[in-house]
Amino acid sequence: MMLVAVGAFAPSARAADDVLVEFHFQPVPNAQIAVWLVDANGAFVQDVMVTQATGTLGIGNRPGRWDFLSSWRFPYGPRPQVLPVWAHARGKSYPSLIFHDDDVSDLDSLGWHENSSSPEPYYCRPLTEAENDVISTDTMTCPSPATFQSDKGRFADEQSPYPPRNDLVTFEPGGDHADVEMFGVLNDLDAVTSATPAGHEPELYTAVVPREIAELGPMKAFIEINLEHDENDAWAYDRETDHFIDPRLSAYGVEYLGQPSVVYSVDFDPADKSFTGTDMYQGYGEWDGSSGDLAPPDGSISVEGGSGADRLELFTKNGETFRFGVYSHGPNSGTDPTGGTGSGSGSGSGSDDSDSGSDSDSGADDGWGCEVHPLPAPEFFELEAMAFDTVRVHFSIPADAAPDIRNARLYYRTGDVPLTEDNVASAIQSVPSDAECSGPIEAGTSGWCDLHELFGSYHYQIGLRYEDNCSNKSELVAGAVQTAAQEFQTVEGVCFVATAAYGGQWTSRVKALRYFRDLYMRQTGPGYAMIKFYYANSPLLANAIAPRPWARALTRAVLGPIADFAQATTAVPTP
């Protein structure tokens, strides 16, 4: 166990006469979500929240084809249809990204970008459908940065309504284009990006509407939600014909197209202390994200089974049954002139199985009574590397903390740059479930939560805040830890057999084989055919070799002369 110094970072202050507004909903798991406000004239006012795959990791704007058959955690292929109504409503644009790779034959490929790549802190190489199912089910760790490098891209002449990724804090000369250092500067979603909700639990986000905006009169709150591969009869897609399959990696990639994003909206007056909810969706977005237009509700969108409009589940709170609800505290309430905003996510109350919704201005209900105030920092913070992919975060909650503590929110990032309040927006967020923690998080107690899906043998910066039921966050504490080495990584880099034999994609002989493949074999018809055959058949062989020392030794004996020749002909330096 390693003791780390506790650093505290205070939230920003808000004026006492601004208006606190609560946003309530219950999503299905793995959804991408955005919440925002517009004024009575339809003009964009402010963001409330956006999930981090869109806000931090830039899935709406990344290099490669938009229709790539990729996978849940792959760095290429923008998803312009992820949250198009929100993206276009913001009225902002950013340079679109294209590959930094200047080899035109690689621009339609999921791989082959080694000459323009740098270490990848989050995303993985493409996965087969079988691998994707295993990883999604068992939360196995995907290939580490030591195994997989990615082309981060460069700016194109075209524009996108989505910002680029914001999680990069180190850059590699030669591997990264100079534009990459501008990604975080252009990304302006730091304050509103949040972890993807776990799903099937009520969520609460809060926002503070400045007094001068609240005094302008009625507003409209929007929520947009999308889910990959959410198909039905009207929105059915085929892996082979509706997605682009890289012919050089034809076994790789997972379908993601499905029903478009669905939007709900609520009209409310921030000056009125009241709740308004709805169970009817307003419309759905463009399937390709080409505009922010809304199509009206129709029979093409599913309404049950967690699909389509049922991505926001019906639930009841304080006697109101709804899918999206907004409660305004009105002026001069719910704020503390010495405190900060409570922007964040989490559960509100329980849910039931009622089949009817409500649209009401039912007046104030004491059950909605949130207040915005700062929470003290944890008094103790320690990081313990439990396994190659797991770190246990130990902490103690001060006795004078709020009594209604809801959860712990973890932040993590690879590398040596310490996490601070100024750069925590570049970190990935995780809200552990009850099963991943030692028990309920309560004032005056100590506990721990586990952070999973990390890379083996890697240096991490990890931070923690705890939150109350009104989305107020504590001050941030942070430290560093090294994860343990992984003896064998089940999901490895794309040179499967060689990697299994030598123990890592990063070894000199495996690197030489990769360079030989790219420089010579893929340039000829027979060589290309051999590569295609290899990628179709080698994963099963690699899985058989990896756990058997004698098989690895035999494979090294066979590959050794070939690897030595590849090193000599490609001049790959030996580390």
pLDDT at 555 over 60: yes
Rounded Cα–Cα distance for residues 110 and 248 (Å): 9
Is residue 572 very low, low, confident or very high in pLDDT (cuts 50, 70, 90)?
Answer: very low
Other beta carbons within 10 angstroms of residue 3's beta carbon come to 11
Give Cα 90 distance to the centre of its chain.
20
What confidence category does residue 287 fall into, taking pLDDT thresholds of 50, 70 and 90? very high
The correct answer on CATH 3.40.640.10 for the domain covering 3-8+372-482 is: no
The predicted pLDDT at position 342 comes to 39
Q: What is the pLDDT of residues 94-150, one digit of tens each?
A: 999 999 988 888 888 887 787 788 888 888 877 777 766 655 543 445 655 556 789
Coil/strand/helix, residue 385 = strand
Check: CB of residue 56 under 8 Å from CB of residue 162. no
Round to whole Å and give the CA distance between 170 and 411: 17
Checking if the pLDDT of 285 tops 60, the result is yes
Angle between helical axes of 508-519 and 549-570 (0-180°, round to 10):
50
Token duo for residue 218: 């009625």
Lowest mean pLDDT among 252-266, 337-351, 459-473, 514-528: 337-351
Instruction: Give ranges for CATH 2.60.40.10 in the chain.
Output: 3-8+372-482
DSSP 138-206: H------TTT-EE---EEEEEEESS----------BTTB-GGGGGHHHH---GGGEEPPP-SSS-EEEE
pLDDT of residue 311: 98
- Determine the angle formed by the axes of helices 525-545 and 549-570, rounding to 10 degrees: 150
Count of beta carbons in the 10 Å neighbourhood of residue 438? 15
- CA dist 338 and 372 (Å) reads 10
Q: How far is CA 181 from CA 148, 152, 164, 336, 443, in A?
A: 20, 10, 11, 37, 41
Distance CA 340, CA 82 (A): 31
Contact call for residues 543 and 134 (beta carbons, < 8 A)? no
pLDDT at 395: 96
Closest alpha carbon to 429 in 53, 26, 135: 53
b/e 222-256 (16+ beta carbons within 10 angstroms → b): bbbbbbbebbeeebebeeeeebbbbebbebbbbbb
pLDDT at 136: 52
How does pLDDT run across 140-165, given as a tens digit for each residue? 456 555 567 899 999 999 999 999 99
The pLDDT tens digits for 60-83 are 999 999 999 887 678 999 999 999
**Model confidence band, residue 523 (pLDDT cutoffs 50, 70, 90):** low
Q: Average pLDDT in the 406-431 region?
A: 91
Which DSSP string do the residues of 28-79 spell out, in sequence order?
PTT-EEEEEEEETTS-EEEEEEEEHHHHTS-TTS-SS-TTB---TT-S-S--
Transcribe 495-512 into DSSP letters: -HHHHHHHS-TTSHHHHH
Q: Give 523's DSSP letter.
A: G
DSSP state letter for 250:
T
Mean pLDDT confidence for 227-234: 96
| Residue recorded with tokens 């995907």 | 142
pLDDT category at 489 given cuts 50, 70, 90 is very low
Which residues are 381's β-sheet partners?
A: 395
Beta strands 446-451 and 390-396 are antiparallel
Query: Are 444 and 397 within 8 A, CB to CB?
Result: yes
**Cβ atoms within 10 Å, residue 115:** 15
Which string of b and e fits 474-511 if b means at least 16 CB within 10 Å?
bbbbbbbbebbebeebbbbbbbbbbbbbbbbbbbebbb
Q: What is the distance between the alpha carbons of residues 227 and 233, in angstroms, rounded to a whole number?
A: 16
Sign of the CA dihedral with 47 first, then 53, 56, and 57 last? negative
Q: Is pLDDT of 384 > 70?
A: yes
Nearest partner of 493 among 538, 553, 528, 454, judged by Cα? 538
pLDDT mean across residues, the chain: 81
The DSSP line for 480-494 is EEEPPPPS--SS--S
Residue 222: which H helix or E strand, with range? strand 219-226
- The answer to whether residues 26 and 205 touch, using CB atoms and an 8 Å cutoff, is no
Confidence of residue 512 (pLDDT cuts 50, 70, 90): low
Contact 253, 245 (CB under 8 A): yes
**Six-digit token string for 323:** 């899918």
- Residue 215: other Cβ atoms inside 10 A: 13
The residue-averaged pLDDT of 306-314 equals 98
pLDDT-based confidence at 532, cuts 50/70/90?
low
